[in-house]
Amino acid sequence: MSRRSGVLEFAVLGLLREAPMHGYELRKRLNTSLGVFRAFSYGSLYPCLKALVQQGWLAEESGRASDDPRATPLTNRRAKIVYRLTAEGKERFEELLAQTGPDAWEDEHFGVRFAFFGQTSRDVRMRVLEGRRSRLEERLAKMRASMARTREKLDAYTLELQRHGMESVEREVRWLNELIESEREGQGQREQRGPSGAHERAGPDPSDDSTN
């Protein structure tokens, strides 16, 4: 339950806060909603769920189809194990939400933190966004220094790769700037639940309205 699985813990608690769920669905949500940046496997998820139950933050609501007390998840006809957030788990999540330490803006954590921004205060959001931005600016500085140092020695393709990498980071900084600006504008007004139209762009192609 260290660095990486801390993210998983956070995401699981956050998702279960909205509604009880079983492992399979939890994993699907993780890898679609939040999963553009992160992917988790069953090999991580199931042990994590067990650990969270152990901690008392989750409770199992075994949806047994059979009354047979001998039934186990393997022998039982259909053994969904539904997980529900306990009061302690809710507290734990609030606690994690309020944390704005450096962990919150590292690559591994930031995406998931952002996905749950709607459940926290603007103070916290601002701190995380600004922390992330300064983290990326540090990285940019290093990349620039490194490129200045090595630019002559490098292959054209290697250079192009570095250029593209740097542009990606620069782009993310611009994105953060817009978000921060958007949070600032919201100040004093009603407590709003999202970035205020920093991007008013068109949605995905409406011809693709598959409900599949």
Partner DNA sequence: TTGCGATGTATCGAGCTGATACATCGACTC
Partner DNA sequence: GAGTCGATGTATCAGCTCGATACATCGCAA
- List interacting residues with DNA (CB under 7 A): 1-5, 7-8, 22-25, 28, 38-44, 46-48, 65, 73-74, 77-82
Name which of a second copy, DNA, none residue 19 binds, using a CB cut-off of 5 to 8 Å depending on partner kind. none
Cα–Cα dist 122/72, whole Å: 46
By CB under 8 A, the residues from 20 to 49 that bind a second copy are 32-34, 36-37
Query: Which residue's entry shows tokens 């609030």?
Result: 94
Nearer to a second copy, 69 or 204 (CB): 204
Cα–Cα nearest to 195, from 185, 209, 210 = 185
Single residue of 151, 177, 181, 184 touching a second copy by CB under 8 A: 151
**Nearest distance from residue 166's CB to a second copy, in Å?**
7
Instruction: Specify the 3-state DSSP secondary structure of 58.
Output: strand
The span from the first CA to the last CA of the chain, in angstroms, equals: 36
Cα–Cα dist 155/158, whole Å: 5
Name which of a second copy, DNA, none residue 5 binds, using a CB cut-off of 5 to 8 Å depending on partner kind. DNA
Nearer to a second copy, 24 or 37 (CB): 37
Nearer to a second copy, 74 or 148 (CB): 148
Please spell the DSSP secondary structure of 60-111, one letter per residue. Answer: EEEE-S---TT--TTTSS--EEEEEE-HHHHHHHHHHHH--SGGGGSHHHHH
Structure tokens at 47: 């042990």
If one counts every other C-beta atom within 10 angstroms of the C-beta of residue 66, the result is 12
Name which of a second copy, DNA, none residue 20 binds, using a CB cut-off of 5 to 8 Å depending on partner kind. none
Backbone phi and psi for residue 101, each to the nearest 5 degrees, phi listed first: -65, 175
Name which of a second copy, DNA, none residue 44 binds, using a CB cut-off of 5 to 8 Å depending on partner kind. DNA
Cα–Cα dist 120/97, whole Å: 7
By CB under 8 A, the residues from 171 to 200 that bind a second copy are 171, 175, 179, 193-195, 198-199
**Nearest distance from residue 157's CB to DNA, in Å?**
22
Q: Note the residues at the interface with a second copy (CB under 8 A).
A: 32-34, 36-37, 111, 114-118, 143-151, 154-166, 168, 171, 175, 179, 193-195, 198-199, 201, 203-205, 208-212
